[in-house]
A and B are shown apart, each in its own frame.
Chain A
Amino acid sequence: QQNVQQSPESLIVPEGARTSLNCTFSDSASQYFWWYRQHSGKAPKALMSIFSNGEKEEGRFTIHLNKASLHFSLHIRDSQPSDSALYLCAVNTGNYKYVFGAGTRLKVIA
């Protein structure tokens, strides 16, 4: 049974800071990885995905994946108050079942 853990549970950073969010998974057969963002009272929305080891950058967001370490992360450069949200990581082992972490609640203060 896949176990997906996120850290930290919550985070407060000043505007302009670099923010790092972490996700670990237990199943070494995991193949596909996502970060979703959920603003308060809203639906989760996909931010980025990565399917092979390494790094991927899109604007202020960078995702790192290290399958051997069972770890992937999301880094936000120049964090903005609008980035304040619940961040969810998701892992798929190659079937229809996606497993989500419990989330990291980020607050960016101006």
Chain B
Amino acid sequence: EAAVTQSPRNKVAVTGGKVTLSCNQTNNHNNMYWYRQDTGHGLRLIHYSYGAGSTEKGDIPDGYKASRPSQENFSLILELATPSQTSVYFCASGDEPINQDTQYFGPGTRLLVL
């Protein structure tokens, strides 16, 4: 089974501060995704990547940047954190073919922005 890890697992940040959430996968999947999960909304796609060096906007990219420096690592960056970004963030990776890939999720990062 795919192994996806996230760090940190919990984070408290101040409004206006910079936050970086990290994700690592060890199964050589090309596709990686960042979601946030809020009650009543399910999982919403923030950014995704189809390989090292690529990042694409998902459905709710405003206020977030992403970085995919290598096959294994995919980061989500909040340059100026706001309380509305308080949420649980999940990273996922997927195997090809891209449109049919089952996604393997990391354990999540709980972010609180004060």
The contact string, 1 if C-beta is below 8 Å from chain B, for chain A 21-39, is 0000000000110101000
Q: How far is the CB of B94 from chain A (nearest CB, A)?
A: 9
Check B48–A102 contact: CB distance below 8 A.
Answer: no
Number of B residues, CB within 8 Å of A? 26
Question: B43 — which chain A residues lie within 8 A by C-beta?
Answer: 44, 88, 90, 100
Comparing A10-18, A45-53, A57-65, A72-80, the segment that makes contact with chain B is A45-53
Q: How far is the CB of B80 from chain A (nearest CB, A)?
A: 25
- List, sorted by A's number, 23 A–B pairs whose CB atoms are closer than 8 Å: A32-B99, A32-B100, A42-B107, A43-B106, A43-B107, A43-B108, A44-B105, A46-B102, A46-B103, A49-B100, A88-B43, A92-B99, A94-B99, A96-B31, A96-B56, A97-B45, A99-B45, A99-B59, A100-B42, A100-B44, A101-B42, A102-B40, A102-B42
B64 contacts A by Cβ under 8 Å: no
Binding site for B on A (CB under 8 A): 4, 6, 31-32, 34, 36, 42-46, 49, 51, 88, 90, 92, 94-103
Binding site for A on B (CB under 8 A): 4, 31, 33, 35, 40-45, 48, 50, 56, 58-59, 90, 98-100, 102-108
